[in-house]
């Protein structure tokens, strides 16, 4: 399917591995000029080269407020006006709510909520000028169905969901859509931290915890990165022009909420 976005410019954050990388690859396959981002410059340049033509890399840590404007300015210098923004950042640590102190909450807010809000604000002028914009935030299925020992991640991402719901209505008449993609139990490094922690608490092996986690999914398996990227790319497409303020869950049927 032609997504109708070939030749546009995208900035995909936290995209040298995992779900962010899957979004970047799907957009590049649709003909988008993609700037990927991560903290490891050597790795980022290698990944950009592996994805292929039309992909560049900007190093930077989105959890640092001072870095965000620089990342956007460098991406704009490399490609031109940004029409597509995908926000993504590594998740906060799992664990019971009372085990997270104030600095841990502050770090999670900067990484997983305030970074996306700031970056959206930085690219909105480009999108308004072009009368076209797509903002997609990678959040978590726990926003819709809280999961044990994930209160920190759920709290900050729920805050982001609320802010982006308001933004979606504020910019809709400018041709800009704002949506969230909620990964379920995806077989990534972030999930490994979760099942390693579960294994430690329950006195079982990490492989046993991982198997039990997969069995909790109606499809009987953990999600793969390749299950995720095409959904992100579709929300960035012209075919999704009448979808905004939505939370699209990619979870193999895990979330049991009615709506």
Could you state, in chain order, the average pLDDT of each consecutive group of 10 residues for the chain (259 residues)?
A: 96 96 98 97 97 94 96 98 96 88 95 97 98 98 89 95 98 98 90 82 90 94 95 98 98 92
Residues 241 and 195 in one domain: no
Which pLDDT does position 197 carry in this prediction? Answer: 81
Residues 112 and 205 in one domain: no
Which pLDDT does position 15 carry in this prediction? Answer: 97
Residues 26 and 123 in one domain: yes
Residues 56 and 166 in one domain: yes
Instruction: Please report whether residue 214 resides in a domain.
Output: yes
Instruction: Please report whether residue 258 resides in a domain.
Output: no
C-alpha to C-alpha distances, 38 to 2, 99, 203, nearest whole angstrom: 28, 28, 34
Instruction: Please report whether residue 165 resides in a domain.
Output: yes
Residues 164 and 98 in one domain: yes
Instruction: Please report whether residue 250 resides in a domain.
Output: no
Provide the domain count of the chain: 2
**3-state DSSP assignment of residue 31:** coil
Residue 81 is part of which domain span?
9-184+227-245
With beta carbons less than 8 A apart as the criterion, state whether 104 and 158 touch: no
Instruction: Please report whether residue 4 resides in a domain.
Output: no
Residues 50 and 60 in one domain: yes
Instruction: Please report whether residue 259 resides in a domain.
Output: no
With beta carbons less than 8 A apart as the criterion, state whether 135 and 163 touch: no
Domain of residue 135, CATH code: 3.40.50.720
Which pLDDT does position 199 carry in this prediction? Answer: 84
Which parts of the chain are beta strand (E)?
9-12, 33-38, 55-59, 84-87, 133-138, 176-183, 247-250
C-alpha to C-alpha distances, 34 to 47, 49, 233, nearest whole angstrom: 12, 12, 12
Residues 197 and 106 in one domain: no
Residues 193 and 180 in one domain: no
Residues 59 and 173 in one domain: yes
Residues 89 and 193 in one domain: no
Phi/psi-derived region of residue 7, left when phi > 0, alpha when psi is between -120 and 50, beta in every other case: left
With beta carbons less than 8 A apart as the criterion, state whether 121 and 133 touch: no
Instruction: Please report whether residue 2 resides in a domain.
Output: no
Residues 178 and 202 in one domain: no
d(CA 92, CA 144): 17
CA Rg, the chain, in Å? 18
């Amino acid at each position: 399917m032609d997504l109708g976005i070939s030749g546009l410019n995208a900035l995909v954050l936290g995209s040298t591995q995992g779900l962010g990388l899957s979004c970047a690859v799907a957009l590049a396959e649709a003909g988008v000029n993609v700037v990927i981002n991560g903290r490891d410059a050597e790795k980022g340049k290698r990944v950009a080269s592996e994805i292929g033509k039309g992909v560049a890399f900007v190093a930077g840590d989105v959890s640092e407020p001072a870095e965000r404007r620089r990342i956007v300015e460098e991406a704009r210098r490399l490609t031109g006006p940004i029409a597509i923004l995908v926000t993504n950042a590594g998740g906060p640590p799992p664990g019971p709510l009372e085990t997270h102190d104030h600095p841990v909450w502050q770090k999670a807010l900067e990484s997983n909520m305030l970074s996306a809000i700031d970056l959206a604000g930085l690219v909105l002028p480009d999108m308004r000028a072009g009368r076209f914009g797509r903002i997609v935030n990678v959040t978590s299925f726990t926003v819709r169905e809280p999961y044990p020992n994930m209160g920190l991640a759920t709290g900050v991402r729920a805050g982001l969901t609320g802010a982006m719901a308001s933004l979606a209505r504020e910019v809709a008449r400018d041709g800009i859509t704002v949506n969230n993609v909620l990964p379920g139990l995806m077989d990534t490094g972030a999930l490994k931290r979760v099942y390693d922690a579960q294994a430690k608490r329950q006195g079982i092996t990490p492989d046993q915890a991982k198997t039990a986690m997969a069995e909790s999914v109606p499809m009987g398996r953990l999600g793969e990165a390749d299950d995720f990227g095409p959904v992100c790319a579709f929300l960035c497409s012209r075919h999704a022009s009448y979808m905004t303020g939505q939370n699209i869950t990619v979870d193999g049927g895990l979330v049991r909420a009615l709506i």
